[in-house]
Amino acid sequence: MEFDLTAYAKDIINAEIAEIHALKTKLGAAYNFVLKELYACTGKVIVIGVGKNAPIAQKMVATLNSTGTVAQFLHAGEALHGDLGIIQPEDICIIISKSGNTQEIKAALPSIKFLGKKTVAMTGNMNSYLASQADYVLDTTVSREAGHNNLAPTSSTTVQLVMCDAIAMTLMKMKNFTAEDFGKYHPGGSLGKQLMMRVEDILDIHHKPHVDINSNIKDVIHSLSSGRFGITVIMENGEIAGVVTDGDLRRMLEKYSDLTDITAKDIGTFSPKTIYKDALAKDALKQMNEYKIGQLIVIDKKNDYVGIIDFHGLINEGISEE
């Protein structure tokens, strides 16, 4: 059978979009009550599912945990064999089921209600057993599944996922959960690094190339070569006076023919750009781009020399200005 594959895909997408639009009309008092209960919850949010609804429940748990709400997944089938023990008296249980009449849900629901504080049904059957027994009901009914045979869960799971996201994002806003808070829960991701990683976290404190202001050119070259950064710090009486870079060295060779008496103070760049070690790494990158330089001198609160951070090190860590 031949047909336009792209056109059919668009039909599927449009069918699911239409069900999402319809979902907006089903939000009402029940949604508001549920969100207030979740906001005031002093325990966990237990999200329960079975079959195709289980991955939706797992996704909701992951989103809640990463946005400031403690949550845990419970498979309805496993609930019947001991896993109900995770439910504590202050927990709120969200039960996701399209039909609301699955055997596992019906068998577990009395115990779920007894053990937890409140039960929330997310169902596509407002006349189901689950809907009749839950404290609150969120309507995720769809007119039909996407696809020509109206069988495989498609539109129904999409609508469930959207409802879960709406709940998580609303809670996030109610709790004033910030981007910085989000970064705390994602330290290994690029966003977490942007929000949390500081200069000192990626600073190699064992490589602090430096020379005295009166050091001869041989010592300057040796320091530049051993420091890996193409830069060395000029120190005077224990304080940072300036820097010598590979570029300064090239300009010296063009300017001087006799290098016998040349010292660091003759070729250095003074008043170098610095950054505190506890500054955000993204701010270091921003400063480098602003001044069109490849390195910054890192200092502590006493303005003591701590090390050097360079552009490539920041990029390799996945840091960007955004």
Q: Where are the domains of the chain?
A: 5-177, 199-317
Helix axes 217-227, 246-255, angle to 10 degrees: 150
The rounded distance, in Å, linking the Cα atoms of 81 and 85 is: 10
Instruction: Please write the tens of the pLDDT for every residue from 64-111.
Output: 998 989 999 999 999 989 899 999 999 999 999 999 999 999 999 999
In the DSSP assignment, the letter for residue 219 is H
pLDDT band at 320 (very low <50, low <70, confident <90, very high): confident
pLDDT at 187 over 70: no
List of E strands, 198-304: 210-212, 231-236, 239-245, 269-270, 274-276, 295-299
Q: Residues 5-177: name the CATH superfamily.
A: Glucose-6-phosphate isomerase like protein; domain 1 (3.40.50.10490)
Tally Cβ neighbours within 10 Å of residue 228: 13
pTM summary value: 0.69
Assess contact for 48 and 95: CB atoms under 8 A: yes
| CA distances in angstroms from 63 to 88, 131, 164, 169, 277, listed in the order given | 21, 25, 9, 9, 33
Which of the following CATH numbers is that of domain 199-317: 3.30.1490.20, 3.90.650.10, 3.10.580.10, 3.40.190.10?
Answer: 3.10.580.10
Q: Which residue has the tokens 């009449």?
A: 101
| CA distances in angstroms from 138 to 38, 77, 244, listed in the order given | 14, 22, 67
In the predicted model, what is the mean pLDDT of residues 307-322?
Answer: 84
Q: What angle do CA 26, 27, 31 make, to 5 degrees?
A: 135
CA atoms within 13 A on the CB side of 59: 16
The more confidently predicted of residues 10 and 207 is 10
